């Protein structure tokens, strides 16, 4: 189906966009949030991906819904796979020129509205004193995992300009290349997700060792997360100063916790991070997976944009986090493996649930899967832009 027919396709289902959640309205007061300083925001020419992205973050009406994909830098792209035949993941991430090249690949191929730096959430941990390796078939491996208070006390608080200069230079290179056209996204792992890797020593399905550490040594746990929060604030601040327009906190594994445990063990630390970087006026995105039980306390912790995965309905999630927050998501990435009709149906449902309200950033529920056809990602971006650009989404017509 051509793009000229997408309005009819999306409007032909059960209800017009706004009728799904008419109770969610953006009040006049909610548009004047204190976390974002208008004077601090970068100027962006109308019609650019940068303007589109910043408008959505600030609950303003963009010219079209902005689109980007987590893990868009690499994975399914032939150019990235060619580089991976010659370089390891850490080699790519620590070479600013190569990292910038990989970062720009999906921007050029898919037409997304933002570039997210090719990096790994584990990078700051080396400077803290951990022996990090990334095994291609396994993932991150920590050869000296955290086991005691002594281990935590030994951890160093990093100086980003000394310990991860390649990340900052990569951001500068990408921003210079895209200046004024696309948003540049910096990111960090969250205290909980990083702590899980540091204690488990490798990827885990149940995080049993990390959670038992949390329950059994709560004072040491708080010390670890406090130290990690200091590192994350420094890391994100340095990325903002290097040129990131937006930063995202990845709390990828937090869905393994109950709401009570999140509030007790995690929320104060995440809250501190968002509070301490708020003064920069840089939009922040708070992401987690499997967080249907945690949306309200996550919103309380902070983030101008709350990113949700495919397990929740976007309109339900938006109602729960509140109309003063933007929302990001939330297409199931496996739909793209099923071909365009399944992808299109999922996209239309999400756009209906967004209802044309200011503040929606289109993304997947998590990351791009390696077997995804790049052509479908390009078509998805064009589809969202064409369907939402300068149109009356309530009626589904231009």
Q: What pLDDT, in 10s, does the model give residues 341-394?
A: 999 999 999 999 999 999 999 999 999 999 999 999 999 999 999 999 965 444
pLDDT digits (tens, 9 = 90+) for 217-271: 999 999 999 999 999 999 999 999 999 999 999 999 999 999 999 999 999 999 9
Alpha-helical (H) ranges within the chain are 6-11, 49-57, 78-84, 89-93, 96-110, 123-127, 149-154, 160-163, 165-178, 191-200, 208-216, 218-242, 259-261, 267-277, 295-301, 314-321, 340-354, 374-388
pLDDT for 90-136, tens place per residue?
999 999 999 999 999 999 999 999 999 999 999 999 999 999 999 88
Q: Which of 17, 52, 55, 75 is catalytic?
A: 75
Query: Do the domain assignments include residue 86?
Result: yes
34: in domain: no
Percent of the chain with pLDDT over 70: 87
Question: Mean pLDDT across the stretch 12-23?
Answer: 34
- 90 falls within a domain: yes
Count of domains forming the chain: 1
Given the residues 18, 33, 84, 264, select the one marked as catalytic.
Answer: 84
What pLDDT is recorded for position 96?
98
- Verify whether residue 84 is a known catalytic residue: yes
Q: Mean pLDDT of all residues in the chain?
A: 89
- Is 353 a domain residue? yes
Which residue in 21, 52, 175, 197 is the catalytic one? 197
| 60 labelled catalytic | no
Which two tokens mark 351? 């756009």
Catalytic, out of 52, 80, 113, 120: 120
Between vectors from CA 151 to CA 150 and to CA 154, what angle results, nearest 5°? 85
Catalytic residue among 21, 52, 71, 352: 71
pTM of the full structure: 0.89
Q: Which domain holds residue 294?
A: 3-25+39-388
Domain for residue 272, yes or no? yes
- With respect to residue 31, please indicate whether it lies within any of the assigned structural domains: no
Torsion angle in degrees (nearest 10) through CA of 303, 306, 307, 308: 140
Catalytic residue check, 120: yes
Asked whether residue 397 is domain-assigned, the answer is no
Q: Is 202 a catalytic residue?
A: no
CATH number at residue 68: 3.20.20.210
């Amino acid at each position: 189906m051509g793009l000229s027919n997408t309005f009819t396709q999306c409007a032909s289902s059960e209800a017009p966009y706004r009728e799904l959640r008419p109770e969610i309205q953006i009040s006049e007061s909610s548009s004047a949030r204190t976390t974002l300083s208008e004077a601090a925001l970068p100027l962006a020419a109308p019609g650019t991906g940068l303007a589109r992205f910043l408008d959505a973050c600030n609950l303003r009406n963009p010219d079209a819904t902005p689109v980007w994909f987590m893990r868009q830098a690499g994975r399914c792209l032939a150019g990235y796979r060619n580089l991976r035949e010659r370089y390891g993941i850490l080699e790519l991430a620590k070479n600013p020129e190569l990292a910038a090249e990989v970062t720009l690949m999906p921007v050029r191929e898919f037409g997304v509205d933002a570039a997210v730096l090719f990096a790994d959430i584990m990078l700051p941990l080396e400077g803290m004193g951990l022996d990090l390796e990334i095994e291609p078939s396994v993932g991150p491996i920590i050869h000296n995992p955290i086991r005691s208070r002594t281990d935590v006390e030994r951890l160093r608080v990093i100086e980003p300009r000394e310990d991860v200069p390649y990340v900052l230079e990569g951001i500068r290179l990408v921003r210079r290349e895209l200046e004024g056209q696309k948003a540049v996204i910096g990111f960090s792992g969250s205290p909980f997700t990083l702590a899980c890797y540091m204690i488990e020593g490798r990827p885990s399905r149940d995080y049993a060792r990390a959670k038992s550490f949390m329950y059994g040594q709560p004072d040491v746990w708080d010390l670890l997360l406090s130290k990690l929060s200091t590192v994350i604030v420094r890391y994100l601040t340095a990325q903002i100063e290097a040129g990131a327009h937006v930063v995202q906190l990845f709390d990828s594994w937090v869905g393994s916790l109950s709401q009570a445990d999140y509030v007790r063990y995690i929320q104060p630390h995440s809250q501190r991070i968002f509070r301490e970087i708020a003064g920069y006026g840089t939009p922040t995105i708070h992401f987690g997976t499997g967080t249907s039980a945690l949306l309200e306390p996550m919103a309380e912790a902070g983030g101008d944009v709350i990113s949700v995965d495919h397990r929740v309905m976007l309109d339900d999630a938006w109602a729960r986090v509140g109309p003063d927050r933007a929302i990001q998501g939330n297409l199931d990435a496996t739909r793209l493996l099923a071909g365009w009709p399944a992808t299109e149906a999922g996209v239309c449902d999400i756009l209906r649930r967004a209802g044309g309200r200011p503040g929606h950033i289109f993304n997947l529920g998590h990351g791009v899967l390696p077997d995804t056809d790049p052509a479908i990602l390009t078509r998805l971006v064009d589809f969202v832009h064409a369907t939402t650009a300068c149109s009356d989404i309530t009626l589904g017509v231009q």
